[in-house]
Amino acid sequence: MRGEVDLHERVEVHRAVWASRVTEESYRDVMRTWPYRTDLDCVLEAPDGTFAAYVLCWYDEKNGVGEFEPVGTHPEHRRRGFGAAVCRYALHRLQEEGGRQAIVYAENEAARALYESVGFRRHTRVVEMRKKR
Question: What are 69-108's pLDDT values in tens digits?
Answer: 999 999 999 999 999 999 999 999 999 999 999 999 998 9
**34-78 confidence digits (pLDDT tens):** 999 999 999 999 999 999 999 999 999 999 999 999 999 999 999
- pLDDT given at position 64: 97
d(CA 81, CA 88): 11
Query: What's the pLDDT score for residue 1?
Result: 44
Please compute Rg for the chain using Cα positions.
Answer: 15
We report the CATH number of the domain holding residue 40 as 3.40.630.30
Indicate whether 132 belongs to any domain: no
Residue 126 lies in a domain: no
In a domain, 43, yes or no: yes
Q: In what side-by-side order are the strands of the sheet with 41-45?
A: 41-45, 51-60, 65-73, 101-104
Question: Does 28 map to a domain?
Answer: yes
Residue 129, number of CB atoms within 10 A of its CB: 5
Please report the pLDDT score of residue 30 as a whole number.
Answer: 96
Instruction: At 20, give phi and psi (nearest 5°).
Output: -90, 160
Q: Per the structure, how many domains does the chain have? A: 1
